[in-house]
Amino acid sequence: MKALAKGACVSLFVLAILVAILLTYSTSRGYTQWWLMSGGNVMINGVRGGYLHTNPSHSVVMITRTDLRRHQSYMVQFSGSRFMIYCGDWHAPRIPAFPIGDVNPPCMGFLDDPDPPDADRPLSSTLTARPGFVEFSTVKGKKVTVTW
């Protein structure tokens, strides 16, 4: 029994090392981008209701609304050309850091699945974005203001 437990522990250790090597390689080559939770404020019509992740270069933010029954995320780039993508059925997890790979990123905009029933798409024409501040309105008339 001890030999079996020792073998299982060694196997788990080897698997953890392999996963760490793969994540390190894919991150260093640019295949994987890490998103880090930021201490920003997400306000929906003046009421706190969400959380924020940023990429390492702080040029793109992932805003997640929690005021709806089903959480919804929006990706906003504010350096260079400003644009916003609605993430559809996917939303960012509420953990301090998570990776997104380049093969199948969750927020592609034009490749999204059909909208969930309670979707609240952003109105891109209302987007105001600069470092430390994002604001936009949604189709359902909500005003989303994010500061960090």
Question: In the chain, which residue ranges form alpha helices assigned H by DSSP?
Answer: 2-28
Alpha-carbon 74 to chain mean position: 8
- For the chain, which residues make up each domain, given as ranges? 1-30, 33-147
> 97-127: per-residue pLDDT in tens?
998 887 777 887 555 556 777 889 999 999 9
Walk along the chain (148 residues) and give the pLDDT tens digit of each residue: 888 888 888 899 888 888 888 777 766 777 788 999 998 999 999 999 999 999 988 899 999 999 988 999 999 998 788 889 999 889 999 999 998 887 777 887 555 556 777 889 999 999 999 989 999 999 999 999 999 9
What is the pTM (predicted TM-score) of this model?
A: 0.80
Check residue 112 and report its DSSP letter.
Answer: P
- Per DSSP, what are the bridge partners of residue 52? 38, 63
Amino acid residing at 64: T
